[in-house]
Amino acid sequence: MKLIASLIGAAALAALSLSAHAQAAKPDLGKGAASFGQVCAACHAADGNSVIAANPKLAGQHPEYLVKQLTEFKSGKRANAVMSGMAAVLSDDDMRNVGFWLASQKPTPGAAKDKDLVALGERIYRGGIADRQIAACAGCHSPNGAGMPAQYPRLSGQHAEYTATQLKSFRSGERKNSAQMTGVAVYLTDKEITAVSDYIAGLR
């Protein structure tokens, strides 16, 4: 009995070791680049720096955030007909490889375009709006928009149009995969969304 117990214990330890090894395995950036080129580049550009304002820039984004979004597109938790179809063909390893490859790409800077609203956008981003319980964006996404790895996405240089669309989707409840962002966006007016989105585009 002791021998059987020892063998079972050894097998369990081996299984745990293999599982831990699989989780700790380094992503394959070459495969990530290949998968991105086949599935994603048409909309997000070859290096992840989309030039189409409706499609987000992905270069330099935190890989954990990218994997989370792809997983939620695939599961339907984040609803988007185009992205759900794209994510459906990606395995967990594909998503991880793509996420880490994108994180290794250098993001291109953006620029604020609306001089009349940039001051309002800066106030919201850096200080929030206390009387409406709107938290400062910088508290989670950092003062320069770099975000916090594995928690909050990088925002700096993102297309203003894309950011505004996402804030409005959070506000309306159409985008449901972040209760925290819904709680912020629900209090923002269209003008405030436009202003803070434009300010974010110029962050660096």
For the whole model, what pTM was predicted?
0.87
Asked if CATH classification 1.10.760.10 holds for the domain at 118-201, the reply, yes or no, is yes
Structure confidence by residue, pLDDT tens digits, 150-182: 899 999 999 999 999 999 999 999 999 999 999
Q: Residue 17 pLDDT > 50, yes or no? A: no
| Exposure on the CB side of residue 6, measured as CA atoms within 13 A | 3
Task: Measure the CA–CA gap between 204 and 201, rounded to whole angstroms.
Answer: 9
Where are the extended beta strands (E) located within 88-150? none
Q: Where in the chain is the domain with CATH 1.10.760.10?
A: 27-103, 118-201
The answer to whether 159 and 110 are in contact (CB under 8 A) is yes
CATH classification number, 27-103, choose in 3.40.930.10, 1.10.760.10, 3.60.21.10, 1.10.1040.10? 1.10.760.10
Task: Measure the CA–CA gap between 188 and 164, rounded to whole angstroms.
Answer: 11
DSSP state letters, 70-99: HHHHHHTSS--HHHHHHHHT--HHHHHHHH
- ∠ CA 79-84-89, nearest 5°, is 160
Residue length of the chain:
204
What six digits make up the tokens of 31?
């495969």
Cα dihedral 143, 147, 148, 149 sign: negative
Task: Measure the CA–CA gap between 81 and 156, rounded to whole angstroms.
Answer: 26
Q: Residue 98 pLDDT > 90, yes or no? A: yes
Q: What's the confidence (pLDDT) of residue 42?
A: 97
Q: Residue 21 pLDDT > 60, yes or no? A: no
Structure confidence by residue, pLDDT tens digits, 24-56: 579 999 999 999 999 999 999 999 999 999 999
